[in-house]
Amino acid sequence: MTKRSDTQTDTSAGVPGRRNAVTVHDVARVAGVSSMTVSRVVNGTKVREELRAKVEAAIQELNYVPNLAARAARSGAFRIGVLFSNPQSSNLGSFLMGAFGQSGRDGSQLDIEPIAGHDDPIDAVRVLLGRGVDGMILPPPLCDSLEALDLLWQAKVAAVSFATADPRSHSSAVLIDDFEGARALTNHLIELGHRDIAFIRGNPRHSPAMRREEGFRAAMAQAGLPIRPGWLREGDFTYRSGLDAGQALLECPPEERPTAIFASNDDMAAAVTAMALGQGIRVPAELSVAGFDDTPIASLLWPQLTTVHQPIADMAAMAVEIVADTLRQRRNAGSDDSAVRHHVAPFELKVRGSSGPAPR
């Protein structure tokens, strides 16, 4: 088992100047109504339908969000909105355990909202803003959404991008080095003698998927190994996509198959393992399989998955801590400005039974 923590960094920098937030008065001017009418619409008070339509159109045009977070902050405890994208993800349990544990220590309150219940993920952000949260944790793919981050800046709500591989200079983030993690795992397969290595991509909307592919490509290039076009398969981080990619890679004569398959997450790697065993291909004697994330499924499989561990629970706890610290800074300073923090958590290469020496 090789530990790869590289350097754990936590940098801070001032937030650059923001544009002025949209106010009730701006909405009133665009809608051609009084500020009181806008307030009534926002607060759900009955107004004439034609006035309501004008106000709602202006709100949408200006992307206005009521600053309910300031009202909530006056009650004492911070309210932190937590979004999650995939209710079936193996990471979800660890993420919530870490977040709840830290919120208990901080005395903050978590408001959970599933993204899957909305046609557009940005609507989940708006729902939490409407509930008056003080801060928000954005998971993939919202962690990379400039629209979501801009919405939160305008509402003066503290935000942390979680598990992004593309942290913004003006927004706090918690992440691992996906590039180095993928490169370390690929190098492990190369050191086992594998030269015919296939790769299953993750969801292209997620920045970690792109960085993991870049890490794989970098290791292969450094070793002078070609990447066959047919051995780069599309996936979207789901088990189903892993089955499809695994079938495409394995339904061919043994001499034309890769000797190792690196999938961008554990769910897809587990699916490849199942597909291989279903076809009578022995893992790892005839095929090595590796994943990424070290979710519970990695240890439940037989053989257990070689993978890259990212400390999801610790990262979730850090995300809550950063939001709470940011809100305390703002409260103490009497200002909406605060330091930006990028916390890079360590990763660890977990070598288990699914990877072995190349068969040829």
Give me the chain's average pLDDT, please. Answer: 87
Rank 74-88, 157-171, 186-200 by mean pLDDT and report only the highest. 186-200
Q: What is the pLDDT, as a whole number, of residue 13?
A: 41
Same domain, 168 and 89: yes
Q: What is the mean pLDDT of residues 207-233?
A: 96
Which amino acid, residue 179?
F
Q: Judge whether 110 lies within some domain.
A: yes
Place of tokens 């339908």: 49
Share of the chain above pLDDT 90, in %: 61
113 backbone φψ class: left, alpha, beta (φ>0; ψ -120 to 50) = beta
Q: Judge whether 1 lies within some domain.
A: no
Same domain, 153 and 232: no
Q: What is the pLDDT, as a whole number, of residue 20?
A: 57
Same domain, 118 and 85: yes
Q: What is the mean pLDDT of residues 131-160?
A: 92
Q: Judge whether 73 lies within some domain.
A: yes
**pLDDT tens-digit readout, 6-47:** 334 444 444 444 445 788 888 889 999 888 788 777 765 667
Q: What is the CA radius of gyration of the chain?
A: 24
Same domain, 170 and 184: no
Residues 6+ apart with CB under 8 A from 42: 24, 59, 66
Same domain, 305 and 330: no
Q: What is the mean pLDDT of residues 222-237?
A: 94
* 68 vs 334: CA distance, rounded Å: 17
Q: What is the DSSP string of 44-113?
A: T----HHHHHHHHHHHHHHT----HHHHHHTTSS-EEEEEES-TT-TTHHHHHHHHHHHHHHHT-EEEEE
Domain boundary among 14, 34, 60: 60
Q: What is the pLDDT, as a whole number, of residue 319?
A: 95
Confidence of residue 311 (pLDDT cuts 50, 70, 90): very high
Q: Is residue 290 within 8 Å of residue 269, measured between CB atoms?
A: yes
Q: Is residue 10 within 8 Å of residue 340, measured between CB atoms?
A: no
Q: Judge whether 17 lies within some domain.
A: no
* 281 vs 13: CA distance, rounded Å: 52
Any idea what the CATH number is for the domain that residue 214 is in? Answer: 3.40.50.2300
Beta strand 347-350 with 307-309 is: antiparallel
pLDDT of 285 above 50: yes
Same domain, 133 and 213: no
Q: Which residue has the higher pLDDT, 91 or 347?
A: 347
Residue 52 belongs to domain spanning: 23-60
Same domain, 262 and 219: yes
Rank 37-51, 65-79, 276-290 by mean pLDDT and report only the highest. 276-290
Q: What is the pLDDT, as a whole number, of residue 17?
A: 41
Same domain, 153 and 250: no
Same domain, 125 and 140: yes
* Claim: this prediction has a pTM higher than 0.85: no
Q: Judge whether 9 lies within some domain.
A: no
Q: Which residue has the higher pLDDT, 20 or 350?
A: 350
Q: Judge whether 230 lies within some domain.
A: yes
Confidence of residue 3 (pLDDT cuts 50, 70, 90): very low
Asked if residue 284 has a cis previous peptide bond (ω within 30° of 0), the answer is: yes
Write down the H helix ranges in the chain: 24-31, 35-42, 49-62, 68-73, 92-106, 121-130, 146-155, 178-191, 207-222, 239-250, 266-278, 296-300, 312-333
Same domain, 331 and 225: no
Confidence of residue 2 (pLDDT cuts 50, 70, 90): very low
Q: What is the pLDDT, as a whole number, of residue 14?
A: 40
In the sheet with 2-4, reading across from the earlier edge strand, the strands are 2-4, 347-350, 307-309
pLDDT of 308 above 90: yes
Q: What is the pLDDT, as a whole number, of residue 22?
A: 80
pLDDT of 267 above 50: yes
Q: What is the mean pLDDT of residues 280-288?
A: 96
Angle at 354 between CA 297 and CA 97, to 5 degrees: 25
Q: Judge whether 113 lies within some domain.
A: yes
Using CA atoms, how far residue 52 sits from 40, 59, 143, 244, in Å, is 9, 10, 33, 49
**pLDDT tens-digit readout, 43-70:** 656 678 888 889 888 888 888 876 554 4
Q: Judge whether 78 lies within some domain.
A: yes
Q: What is the pLDDT, as a whole number, of residue 23?
A: 83
The number of domains in the chain is: 3
pLDDT of 82 above 60: yes
Same domain, 170 and 182: no
Which amino acid, residue 208?
P
Q: What is the mean pLDDT of residues 137-147?
A: 91
pLDDT of 209 above 90: yes
* 161 vs 136: CA distance, rounded Å: 9
Same domain, 206 and 303: yes
Which amino acid, residue 96?
L
